[in-house]
Amino acid sequence: MAVTGKSESGARGRMSAEFEENGFLVVRGLFSPVEIEELCDRFAALQAGGPVPGHFQPRPAAPGEPADPLHVHPRVMHPHRIDALSLRVLLDARLRDVLEGLLGEEVLAAQSMFYFKPPGARGQALHQDNFYLRVEPGTCVAAWIACDVIDRDNGGLEVVPGTHRMDLFCPEEADEQVSFVREYVPPPPGLTTVPVDMRPGDVLFFNGSLVHGSQPNRTTDRFRRSFIGHYVGRSTERIGHYYETLTMSGTPVALAESEGAGPCGTEFEPTGAH
């Protein structure tokens, strides 16, 4: 990314073309190992400090219920609202530069999340992010920052290229044994999932209509941690009430509320079957 002048323009053009063609783009090594270590240490401390209502809620297993790794290490929703480092990462200028090249306009930050995905954790069934954000007009873009070596064994992301050109699908019910959320969008006929292997500091940018998800973490000793930001273009007029947009300098921007929105993924209730 350290390029200037014509080389910078050419690099942006290639990234934009790849994003338009496939619906996703991986930028390798955008964040340094030191930055990723600091981020992981911060979330380890947040998790150890106990629940923060409205953001994450670790909970013990009910009597007779097998322990669920995601109950001990639940995802953290909107950490940028409670943590300065998370806000700094969400608004990072390197992300802004890539996003503006992909969207062709000023970007606004709408959401942050952190996933621990510990060993043995279920995945998240294939889905589309804009099903939840309900950005209008257009869609959102995710910046998915890898915080570990991420591959198929520990539940790396899978994407379905081409679905970014399609409308939102009506989800089916997911398999609770392999997904912690209810919504599942099967790949359309003729399309298939493609795994995206990543290393710490790599960032996967993808279109909000792109069908994507992950399998369970089948390892016994490897987390699959990731920090995710969702962004929209400045021309966005409406977004779900769960999301509060900011300029990349941190100034709040009020948008009208769209209908049918909610948090990214409706979690299954604890049943003792996990």
Q: For the whole model, what pTM was predicted?
A: 0.93
Residues 73-83 have a mean pLDDT of: 97
Nearest-angstrom CA–CA distance, 60 and 171? 30
Handedness of CA 81, 82, 86, 91 (dihedral sign): positive
Q: What is the 3-state secondary structure (H, E, C) of 32-49?
A: CHHHHHHHHHHHHHHHHC
Report the percentage of the chain scoring pLDDT > 70. Answer: 94
Q: Is the pLDDT of residue 20 over 60?
A: yes
Task: Spell out a b/e string for 19-46, using b for 16 or more CB atoms within 10 Å of the CB, else e.
Answer: beebbbbbbeebbeeebbeebbebbeeb
The domain locations on the chain are 15-48+68-257
What are the pLDDT digits (tens) for 79-108?
Answer: 999 999 999 999 999 999 999 999 999 999
Enclosing H/E stretch for 212: strand 211-214
Q: Exposure of 132 by Cβ count < 10 A (0-12 exposed, 13-18 middle, 19+ buried)?
A: buried
CB 90 within 8 A of CB 109: yes
CB 271 within 8 A of CB 182: no
Residues 218-229 have a mean pLDDT of: 98
Q: Give me the amino acid identity at 246.
A: L
What are the pLDDT digits (tens) for 116-170?
Answer: 999 999 999 999 999 999 999 999 999 999 999 999 999 999 999 999 999 999 9
CATH superfamily of 15-48+68-257: q2cbj1_9rhob like domain (2.60.120.620)
